[in-house]
Chains A and B, each alone.
Chain A
């Protein structure tokens, strides 16, 4: 801060004030400008303009549409005329033999009602699609002659894609594809189908009221088993995966705390007079922190293979460095008077630590452990995606298949809920544990001390 000399003439004072304003203005406008320039550089370095062209908006559209809707496939094998109905075209979602949803009429000819006047008929030989306002599309697939599509007269609209071997019709009501061997109709519905029960379950299609009634009639266990072993959504596996992720975070964080605490005593100036040992331990902390969870994960998964243990150990090793640093700083800040007070009663060294030191650092210790427990839940998700464990693995698997976007959406919702729950839980526990033995004014002090280390 510059100070004004009071004995200056008015002119000089003015010019000095002007200079100050100019400097302030440069700071005020220069800094945002610098940020803007940097972002412009990044814009070109990352080729954002080119990305816009490269991006596959079609993928994005299917992703969004698929995350809240599902499609039912009605498939006819053109070689033998067999018709099957399956949700998402998966075996797990197939309607049992002889059953079909009410918009599909099975028989000699299969009539599929796509609503709003759209009707697809699988005949004995030919497939017909009656599009209101356009006309009748007829194909007669044959092994040798191709699909033989007959369209109404006029130009082929862009929602019909026709060639010798393939016909694809995409309308708002659904989609029909015909090849030599297969005819397939997709009809889209909103929601996550079969979320509660799969089609082969006796409880499929029953409302919540009916289910409650059955549950009270003594079938609660069976209902739960049907839901729990749902083959489509695999609720059991998902619950295990979430549990594994939280387990990784729990073991990693608390294990790191247990390992770091004794090491922190060695690294604290007021508990260890040996400078060289102190220096060594501190460099070990810096090293394990600097190597980063990514590399630890890679190294450890070579030794232990994929799974939650690897993830837990990776978190444990990385956080040992961080906790060691935080705890040793907290130990260096402890009040000497309490230790002396305990010593004056004739306490030996362990007793001095137990009653003079530990109570002082407990609030810092607990609040840090709980902060990290929450942030490590997130890390465990990420590490799980790399090593293969927990909900992270399920998520990457679902994304790799590139079609189960409703499952991806489900996992994302679960992950967000899990992290928010851990956030709330760790906050609740922190308040409970710390305000239990320390009064409010002290808590504020602890908080402000703890904050610089927060890894949110």
Chain B
């Protein structure tokens, strides 16, 4: 910065200073850009070298598999409606996993967030503990818990549900506690003054304030959890992902089934995406719009 108090510098001086500053900024920007590009390039080359097939050999084959699947599905297009009906129960299971885990996660996340928000926590000393708990729950990828639980509980929807619920509880716990921090504490104090218990204070004083935001975040989570439960099915936790892996490992001859599952999964994800988008918009911006 030029020191203005020390006599007025000439216009030329200011211009030189400014030019030097711009120059410096450009150099920094350029260095950052070069660094970034070289990082990307080096990273790409490393990934390419450690991959089974290289990018240059494979990129023209990207469409081979979809074409194969689609052409076979097209030949047997008459069977498609039957397949769609056949895989409906698996899809419903996937949706159930997502919905149940979202609900359980939201309930647990609510408690975690209330216990971790200053002013609402019944044991303020334990706030950091509950924060760390939700951090750890959030950091565990679902697949880790799911795989371990599959070993103990056997394959099926329950391991997936528990795994997703744990992650959801952590993720929502963090988001909810951010919402809680913006909530007014006056109703809580009012309820306290008339002798309400902690549960009553939270249920009557806090939840009505934060409810719409909670629901909006939970809906977003539901969207994510559908994808997650499809993926977990792929590693043996039931639902449509499991069917997808089965029909894929059969290979040719079952591609019509794979195509039917692709369609079901795609349509479901897009539908839930749109629906929850509309609902969330309404919750955050109000119905009248």
B270 touching A290, Cβ below 8 Å? yes
Using Cβ atoms and an 8 Å threshold, which residues of chain B touch A57? Answer: 152
A60, CB-defined interface residue at 8 Å: yes
A386 touching B231, Cβ below 8 Å? yes
A299 touching B143, Cβ below 8 Å? no
Q: Give the docked Cα–Cα distance between A426 and B156 (Å).
A: 35
Whether A51 contacts B153 in the complex (CB less than 8 A), given A302-B65, A308-B51, A408-B148, comes out as yes
B151 touching A63, Cβ below 8 Å? yes
Q: Which of A251, A292, A415 contacts B40 (CB 8 A)?
A: A251
B141 touching A293, Cβ below 8 Å? no
B224 touching A254, Cβ below 8 Å? no
A42, CB-defined interface residue at 8 Å: yes
A456 touching B100, Cβ below 8 Å? no
Using Cβ atoms and an 8 Å threshold, which residues of chain B touch A408? Answer: 148
Using Cβ atoms and an 8 Å threshold, which residues of chain A touch B144? Answer: 381, 395, 412, 415
B103 touching A294, Cβ below 8 Å? no
Q: Give the docked Cα–Cα distance between A385 and B144 (Å).
A: 10
Q: Which of A51, A55, A56, A289 contacts B273 (CB 8 A)?
A: A289
A378 touching B55, Cβ below 8 Å? no
Whether A292 contacts B53 in the complex (CB less than 8 A), given A244-B47, A302-B64, A304-B58, comes out as no
Stretch at the interface among B15-23, B116-124, B132-140: B132-140
Using Cβ atoms and an 8 Å threshold, which residues of chain A touch B153? Answer: 51, 54-56
B65 touching A290, Cβ below 8 Å? no
Using Cβ atoms and an 8 Å threshold, which residues of chain B touch A310? Answer: 51
B262 touching A255, Cβ below 8 Å? no
B58 touching A294, Cβ below 8 Å? no
Residue of B nearest to A45 (CB): B96
Q: Give the docked Cα–Cα distance between A392 and B40 (Å).
A: 22
Residue of B nearest to A61 (CB): B152
Which B225-261 residues have C-beta < 8 A from chain A?
A: 227, 230-231, 234-235, 241, 244, 248
Using Cβ atoms and an 8 Å threshold, which residues of chain A touch B161? Answer: 42, 46
A8, CB-defined interface residue at 8 Å: no
Closest Cβ of chain B to A322, distance in Å, is 10
A304 touching B40, Cβ below 8 Å? no
B139 touching A420, Cβ below 8 Å? yes
Closest Cβ of chain A to B110, distance in Å, is 12
Whether A395 contacts B147 in the complex (CB less than 8 A), given A244-B50, A309-B47, comes out as yes
A303 touching B234, Cβ below 8 Å? no
A250 touching B43, Cβ below 8 Å? yes
A303 touching B53, Cβ below 8 Å? yes
Q: Give the docked Cα–Cα distance between A48 and B231 (Å).
A: 21
Whether A456 contacts B135 in the complex (CB less than 8 A), given A247-B43, A293-B231, comes out as no
Q: How large is the interface on A (under 10, 10 to 19, 20 to 34, 35 or more residues)?
A: 35 or more
Residue of A nearest to B241 (CB): A294
Whether A51 contacts B220 in the complex (CB less than 8 A), given A294-B234, A386-B235, comes out as no
A170, CB-defined interface residue at 8 Å: no
Closest Cβ of chain B to A296, distance in Å, is 10
A270, CB-defined interface residue at 8 Å: no
B100 touching A39, Cβ below 8 Å? yes
Q: Which of A289, A307, A396 gathers most chain B CB within 10 Å?
A: A307
A312, CB-defined interface residue at 8 Å: yes
Whether A385 contacts B139 in the complex (CB less than 8 A), given A254-B40, A289-B273, A294-B231, comes out as no
Using Cβ atoms and an 8 Å threshold, which residues of chain B touch A55? Answer: 152-154
A402, CB-defined interface residue at 8 Å: yes
A454, CB-defined interface residue at 8 Å: yes
A299 touching B154, Cβ below 8 Å? no
Q: Give the docked Cα–Cα distance between A377 and B191 (Å).
A: 43
Q: Give the docked Cα–Cα distance between A164 and B205 (Å).
A: 71
Q: Which of B65, B93, B171 contacts A456 (CB 8 A)?
A: B171
Closest Cβ of chain B to A422, distance in Å, is 9
Residue of B nearest to A255 (CB): B40
Q: Give the docked Cα–Cα distance between A378 and B147 (Å).
A: 15
Interface string of B4-33 (1 = CB under 8 A from A): 000000000000000000000000000000
Q: Give the docked Cα–Cα distance between A241 and B53 (Å).
A: 18
Using Cβ atoms and an 8 Å threshold, which residues of chain A touch B174? Answer: 456
A399 touching B147, Cβ below 8 Å? yes
Whether A290 contacts B50 in the complex (CB less than 8 A), given A42-B96, A42-B100, A56-B154, comes out as no
Residue of A nearest to B170 (CB): A456
Using Cβ atoms and an 8 Å threshold, which residues of chain A touch B143? Answer: 381-382, 385, 392, 395
A455, CB-defined interface residue at 8 Å: yes
Residue of A nearest to B60 (CB): A303
Residue of A nearest to B157 (CB): A46
Closest Cβ of chain B to A187, distance in Å, is 25
Closest Cβ of chain A to B6, distance in Å, is 27
Using Cβ atoms and an 8 Å threshold, which residues of chain A touch B216? Answer: 452
Q: Give the docked Cα–Cα distance between A410 and B71 (Å).
A: 45
Whether A382 contacts B141 in the complex (CB less than 8 A), given A250-B43, A303-B61, comes out as yes
Closest Cβ of chain A to B232, distance in Å, is 9
B84, CB-defined interface residue at 8 Å: no
B210, CB-defined interface residue at 8 Å: no
Closest Cβ of chain B to A84, distance in Å, is 29
Using Cβ atoms and an 8 Å threshold, which residues of chain B touch A419? Answer: 138-141
A247 touching B47, Cβ below 8 Å? yes
A38 touching B103, Cβ below 8 Å? yes
Residue of B nearest to A383 (CB): B231
A452 touching B151, Cβ below 8 Å? no
B141 touching A60, Cβ below 8 Å? no
Whether A455 contacts B224 in the complex (CB less than 8 A), given A59-B151, A255-B40, comes out as yes
Closest Cβ of chain A to B135, distance in Å, is 7
Which A284-316 residues have C-beta < 8 A from chain B?
A: 286, 289-295, 298-300, 302-310, 312
Q: Give the docked Cα–Cα distance between A143 and B93 (Å).
A: 54
B265, CB-defined interface residue at 8 Å: yes
Whether A452 contacts B280 in the complex (CB less than 8 A), given A251-B44, A392-B143, comes out as yes
Using Cβ atoms and an 8 Å threshold, which residues of chain A touch B40? Answer: 251, 254-255
| Other 20 A-B pairs with CB < 8 A, given A38-B103, A42-B161, A408-B148 | A45-B96, A56-B153, A59-B151, A254-B36, A302-B65, A303-B62, A304-B53, A307-B51, A309-B44, A309-B48, A309-B50, A382-B142, A386-B231, A399-B147, A415-B140, A415-B141, A419-B140, A420-B136, A452-B280, A455-B224
Q: List 5 A-B contacts (CB under 8 A).
A: A46-B161, A59-B152, A254-B36, A294-B234, A307-B47
- 10 smallest CB-CB distances across A and B, nearest first, come from A305-B52, A307-B51, A305-B53, A309-B51, A302-B65, A456-B171, A419-B139, A304-B58, A60-B152, A290-B270
Binding site for A on B (CB under 8 A): 36, 40, 43-44, 46-48, 50-55, 58-59, 61-62, 64-66, 93, 96, 99-100, 103-104, 135-136, 138-144, 147-148, 151-154, 156-158, 161, 171, 174-175, 178, 216, 220, 224, 227, 230-231, 234-235, 241, 244, 248, 262, 265-266, 269-270, 273, 280, 284
